[in-house]
Structures are given as C-alpha cells and as structure tokens.
Amino acid sequence: MKKHFLIKGGIKMAEISAINNFKKYNSKSGRSSINNVVREAFRELEKFKNNVNQELTQFNKILVKDLSVLEQQYYDTEVDSRSRDVVSVVSQVQTGNFEARNGVDLTYMLSLEKWEQYYKENLEFLNKKFGKNARCVYAVIHFDESTPHLQSMWTFSEENNQKDEYTVSDVNTAKVKSALTSAFLRRNKELGLIAGTDEYKKAFEEFKVQEKPKIIERQLAKLNKNKSDKKFKFESGTSPFTKDFYRTFNEEFVNDFMVNNAAVNELKNKVKVFSNEDVEVVVKRTEKINSSEDLDRTKFAMEKEKKDLENKIGSNDYSKNEFMKYMEILSKREIIDRKKKISKEDFLNEFKNYETDFKVRKSNKEITDFKRIFNIKKIIRDKLNQRQNNKNFKKNLKKEIKLFDEVFKNVDFEAINKKIEDYSKGEKVEELIKNRENLYFEIKTLETKTSNLKSSINFLEKEQISKNNEIRNLDEQIWEKKIEAEKPYVVSERRKQELINEALNEARKRGDTLMRNIKKDVEKEEAKNNAIKQDILDKRLQMERELQEINNKRRQLNDIYVDLEEKKRRRKAELEKLAQPIIQKEVDDLVREHLRYYEVTDKDILNFKANNKFEYDKLFGEAEARAYEKIKGAYIRRKHDAGKKFIKQMTNMLHEDANGKFSLLEIEKTVIAAIENVPDNTYGWWDDFKNNLNIELENTVRERNAVHNRSKNDFQYDRSR
C-alpha cells in the first residue's frame, strides 16, 4: 500500500516560548572558565563551540560591559570554595519546530532594532528579578549565531560589615537552615524515613530543636575566627537562586513580561502568517526539549536521531511523524548552514525580503501552504543529489517525490510560482509608491551618522576631512538609490524621475547646510579645547605641589615608624629574655596536648622536638597513624558512594533518552567503560568522558547489530538445512 506523508494533516498550534539558561560558577576555583565565557561573549577566541558566522559579528550589540565588576568579585569579595557567586545567563526566544516546518529563519522576523529593544527589556527583567545584590558584568546580543539571543553575566555580593565581636543575632539564618537540612538528610540515611510524611516532618522538627543551638554556636565561632579585610562578601542568601526561584521564574517571565511585550506580539502575528496556524505564548512547550530548534547545541543527539530515521526510511519502516521529523531536521540544518555562510550584505537584505514576503503571504494565505510544499520538495531533491551509500534509502525518497507529483499532478506549480512573483512584485511597487520617503530616510540616516561623528573629535583638522568623506559616501548612497529607482518596477518614468530629483535636491540642501555647521562646530571646539588644555595644565601644577607635600609628610611618618619599631623590638627582646624559662615549660606541655588534641604554632612544635625528640616521635607517630586510618576510610567510602551515584544517575538519564532502545545493563556497561577510558592525567575530565561515552554508545550499537546479524545468519542456515 502506498503511503504519502507530504500533505499537511491536522490542526496545529504554533508556540512561542523563552529560555533563560542559568550556569553558575565559583569566582575562586572557576576563574579560568569564567574568563573563557567572557572572551567567547566578545568573540575574543579563535575557535567557537557554536555555529558562529564571524562575518556577522559586527552586528552584535553590547548593552553592558563593566569588567571591573568581575575584578571586584575576584579580589575584594570574600567567597568560600563551595559558593556559586557568578552566574551566566543565555536568554533566547523559541518557536518550537516552526522554523523547520516552514523553512524560514526566525532571525529575520523582527528588525535588528526590535530584537535589540526586546533583549534590553529582557535584561531589565533579569536585573529586577536578581535583586539588589546583583551586578551585571556584561550583556551582549549575538546576531552571528543561528538565532538572536542575549548572553549576560552577573556577580552577587553584599557589604562585608565587620564587627570586633559577633553575637548570635549576626549569624546567617539561611546558612543555619541549609546546614540543618543537610545534617538531617545525613541522619535520615540511618532512619530511612520517607520525605513529606508526618513521621519525617516530626523527626525533622525534633532534630532542629536538638541540633540548631550547636550549629548556631559553630557558625558564631567561625564568624569570630574567620574575619576578613575584604569590602564585600558572598554567603547563603546573597543570591536569589532558591528552589522557589527556579520553580516560578519561567512562569513570571512569560506572564509578566512576554505576553504584553510589543516585539513578542509582532513576532506572534508574523509566525501566524508564515505558518497559517494559531499562535500561543506558552510557559512550557509541548514539544521535546531536544527538538530540531536546538540542533546546533545538541549535535550528537540530533545526528543520532537523524541516522536512526534514515535507517527506518531505508528499510521502508517509517511513520508520517517520523518522516516529517526527518524533514524538519534537514530543514533546520539547512537554515543553520545558510546562516553560517551568509555575507553581511545578504544578511541585511534578508530582513527586507522577509518583510516583503510577510506582506505577500498576508494577502494570500495559500502562498504559505505552497511555499511549505516547495520547501519539502527542495529538501528531498537536495538530499537525493548528495552521495548516498544506502540505495534503499535513496529509492524510498524517490518514491516520495513520485507520490508527491502524483498527489499534486493537477496543480499548476508554474502558475503558482508566477502568482507568488506577481504578488511580490506588486508589493514592492506598492511599497515604493506608498513610501516615497524611503530614499530620504537613507539620506537622513547618513546625515545623523555624520552629525554624531562630531562628538568623537580628537583632532579637529582631521575631523573636517572625515566629514567630507561622509558627504562623498552620501553621494554614493544617492547614486545607489538612483540605480535602485531605475529597476524595472511598474512605475511611470515621469514619477521615477521626480523621486530621483527630489532626493538629489534634498541631499544637496542638507549637504551645504551640513558643511556650514561643521565649520562653525570646528571653530567652537577649537576654542573650547584650548580652554580645557589650559585648565588641565593649571590642575597638573597644583597636583604636583600637593604631591610634594604628601611625599614630605610620608618621609616624616616613615622616620617615626622606624623609631617606634626599634623601641618595640628592644622591649620585646627584654620581655622574652625574662619570661623564656616559664614560657618554655608551658609551651612543652601545650605541644604534648597538641599531638593529642589541640593547636599550637609550628615554631613551638619544632622547639619541643629539639628538646624532647624521643617523646615527640612516639606521640606524633601514634597521632598520625590514627588520623591516617580515619581519613583513608572516610575517603574510600565517599569515593565509592559518589562513583555509584554518578553511574546510576548517568545510566537512568541515558536510558530515558534512549526510549527503551537499550537495556539498563547495556547503558550501565557503556557508562562504566567511558569512565574507565578517561586518562588519569587529563585536564578536562568531563569533555573526555563525553567523547568516550559517544564512542562507547557507537560500539554498543555495532555489537548489537553484529549479534543480530549472526543470529539472522544462523537462522537462515538452519532453514536451509
């Protein structure tokens, strides 16, 4: 029975959503990673992980760049090694499989200016949500990847107000709460209570009554012991990232920000026209996260899915949804590749083309449906033109093309194409007639650029030459507009000449006025700069005099300081000489206790060792042996438990993603093999593990196929007998 999957079936709802992906770092241990993220954001790396078109990098928009914020976090903020005080955020608009289904690029649905405005408002929302302790390091909009997105980085800190003596009221309640929760979870491993039950809650409350005073006491002791001279600090409660934050953020972002956003509403309208589907702004999409939309960021998973689908098509065992999913993958891949290779000129032209296409589709809904069909047919033909080793796969694709032609044999595609072209041409002509000021707009834009150049004058004489160059560029733009106006649109020659003459006259008038204004501004700026230079000279002389006075005072203070230090040294030597016999006995007693329980200085231990070597060796050896066995036992247990937990989590995650294609035992063996093959001296354990995992998964598939083929051959052999 013939089957054909190219005809649109069922009513679909297009979905617009957003993602704000948070990744947290420690400013002490993660500086290298943080600095690499910053460099990647500003395109200061030679190679990039994602699909970056460096031809388009000039269109990236920096909204915030204040690296001093990061320096403050590095050098003037007290942070422990377990904190996550630096957060990077990737904010992006998503439309599910809309792009892939319709063969369009979301980038061109809004202008560069509207994308910029949307992400400025997105940034404002983040700033408000993060609270008073948040400081933005940078925020930059990337237009040089597959879809426009905002990448930002934030630090979190608060004033470190030190006290001579801390009391119970100074203890961080959030840290106490966190410590109590962690301690009870450890205790519950022995109790075995089920979380959420009345028994669990009762045991937790009793535990808090018993242990809370001890934890507060420990926290207070740590406060009074570990005082810092840094101006800022980060501790529990400084950042907003709690379970409630993650649970409610996305819903608030959509309902409080996106739903009423002007850019989102415009995008919603255009998606509706480009898909012929109703559109809804949603908190969570109904599609899988691992959709074709994220092809460039989930290359391995999507490539594996693509190969699986090709195998199914090759064996003629595929459903409608599977075939359309394969088309979407190819379509999205084509969009990404086109974006990666596009020139900056074609990039800018695409915005105009999409705007015209939008108006054409809006005037005739049938055009959208036919363009979707054209896109699918083109994708199939492009795939057929590629070299294919699987002959059955190629054969079935040709069958789809044949069925396509049979289903639409009564459709005059040439007439439809001519209709689309006529609509497009008519739209362009109408736009040219209705918007006669478009030519002037380009001129005014250039004039604005010329005017803005005045603010950056460094050398006034050179600036005048620069303005002349801008005017020449203006003339060139006018000439380009003249050429554009002479294109074969259906406009009368008389009207065409009127537009050209109006543009030229306006440009000449504005150019003459511009030159006069530039000369006046140059003279004003010259006089102003001379006054500034004199003022700077006077201030420099004043500062030199003040600096001389400061140096004289500094020398006086240094002399006084040296005298005081000498007096202190002599007095200390006298006291030490008088007290040495008494002190030494007390120190020896303290050292004996230290080797069992307490802390004394390294100097005291060395003195005791010199005077009591045999006793020292005995005491230290006993203490060291006890400590080593305790530490070794605890480390082995922790290492064993952590390894089992990691293997279990990775196995369950991969088994879920595989949708039952592999057994738990197969995946567990694969994960263990990937871990064992990581080199002992690696500097990037996680990256090596992921690469090994990909290799082992492919080996598992090959082994399964080999077993299957052997079983099949054995079966055939038995049948022949």
For residue 31, give every residue at least 6 positions away whose Cβ sits within 8 Å of its Cβ, in sequence order, or none: 74
13 closest CA partner among 88, 85, 97, 77: 97
276 closest CA partner among 411, 366, 354, 353: 366
Output the pLDDT for position 25.
95
The model scores a pTM over 0.75 = no
Whether residue 598 is predicted with pLDDT greater than 50 in this model: the reply is no
Q: Count of alpha carbons within 13 Å of 65, Cβ hemisphere only?
A: 9
More confident residue, 303 or 338: 338
Residues 223 and 161 sit within 8 Å (Cβ to Cβ): no
Question: What spatial distance separates the first Cα and last Cα of the chain, rounded to whole Å?
Answer: 34
User: Band of the pLDDT at 252, cuts 50, 70, 90?
Assistant: very high
Output the pLDDT for position 7.
41
Whether residue 253 is predicted with pLDDT greater than 90 in this model: the reply is yes
Triad 336, 396, 382: Cα angle to 5°: 30
What are the Cα distances from residue 580, in Å, to 145, 585, 601?
A: 73, 9, 16
Q: How far apart are CA 20 and CA 94, in angstroms?
A: 11
Q: What are phi and psi of 387, to 5 degrees?
A: -70, 125
Whether residue 585 is predicted with pLDDT greater than 50 in this model: the reply is yes
Question: Residues 302-322: what's their mean pLDDT?
Answer: 78
Residues 331 and 103 sit within 8 Å (Cβ to Cβ): yes
The position carrying tokens 């953020």 is 249
Whether residue 429 is predicted with pLDDT greater than 60 in this model: the reply is no
CA 691 to chain centre: 22
Q: What is the rounded average pLDDT for all residues in the chain?
A: 76
Output the pLDDT for position 437.
46
Whether residue 637 is predicted with pLDDT greater than 90 in this model: the reply is no
Whether residue 282 is predicted with pLDDT greater than 60 in this model: the reply is yes
Output the pLDDT for position 467.
65
User: Band of the pLDDT at 490, cuts 50, 70, 90?
Assistant: very low
User: Band of the pLDDT at 658, cuts 50, 70, 90?
Assistant: confident
For residue 650, give every residue at least 6 positions away whose Cβ sits within 8 Å of its Cβ, in sequence order, or none: 671
Output the pLDDT for position 593.
59
Q: How far apart are CA 130 and CA 424, in angstroms?
A: 47
Out of 214-218, 274-278, 467-471, 695-699, which region has the weakest mean confidence (pLDDT)?
A: 467-471
Output the pLDDT for position 6.
41
Output the pLDDT for position 589.
64
User: Band of the pLDDT at 664, cuts 50, 70, 90?
Assistant: confident
Bridge-based pairing of strands 232-233 and 77-78 is parallel
Output the pLDDT for position 236.
76
User: Band of the pLDDT at 631, cuts 50, 70, 90?
Assistant: low
User: Which 3 state secondary structure label does DSSP give 342?
Assistant: coil
Q: Count of alpha carbons within 13 Å of 258, Cβ hemisphere only?
A: 23
Q: How far apart are CA 321 and CA 102, in angstroms?
A: 16
pLDDT digits (tens, 9 = 90+) for 435-489: 444 444 555 555 555 555 544 544 455 656 666 676 777 767 777 666 665 554 4
Question: Residues 133-160: what's their mean pLDDT?
Answer: 94
Question: Residues 706-720: what's their mean pLDDT?
Answer: 55
225 closest CA partner among 599, 661, 607: 599
Out of 122-131, 418-427, 602-611, which region has the weakest mean confidence (pLDDT)?
A: 418-427
pLDDT digits (tens, 9 = 90+) for 363-400: 777 777 777 777 777 777 777 777 666 777 777 777 77
Output the pLDDT for position 106.
93
Q: How far apart are CA 463 and CA 622, in angstroms?
A: 82
